[in-house]
Amino acid sequence: MDSPVRMTDEQAEAVVRDVLRSVAPGPALDTLAPRDDLRETLGLDSLDFLAVVTRVSERTGRRIEEDDYDQLGDLAGWVAYLAA
């Protein structure tokens, strides 16, 4: 795998929203606030969440460990994680 891509907050949010759009399309994504629970708001089940993790990892080159999943429950957590 290539080296992880360094991202700004805006780039990180754009990647996550794009991936979410491919996994859970619908109007809820358009009104998603930074601290909204992704699973609850978008109706993601565990397989959907794993698909998001896998696709974000592939797009960014960043390995996402299972231990990090707790901080990835909302958009703000994803942005902080990817832009760190």
Residue ranges covered by each domain of the chain: 9-83
**9-83 belongs to CATH 1.10.1200.10:** yes
**Distances 11 to 5, 43, 65 between C-alpha atoms, Å:** 10, 24, 21
DSSP class of residue 22 equals H
Q: Output 24 or 1, whichever has higher pLDDT.
A: 24
Q: 48: number of CA atoms within 13 Å, CB side?
A: 15
Task: List the structure tokens of 80.
Answer: 């902080």
Look up tokens 């109007």; give the residue.
Answer: 27
Least confident of 24-28, 56-60, 75-79: 24-28
Task: Identify whether the C-beta of residue 19 lies closer than 8 Å to the C-beta of residue 52.
Answer: yes
- pTM of the entire predicted model: 0.91
The 3-state DSSP class for residue 37 equals: strand
- Residue 3: per-residue pLDDT: 65
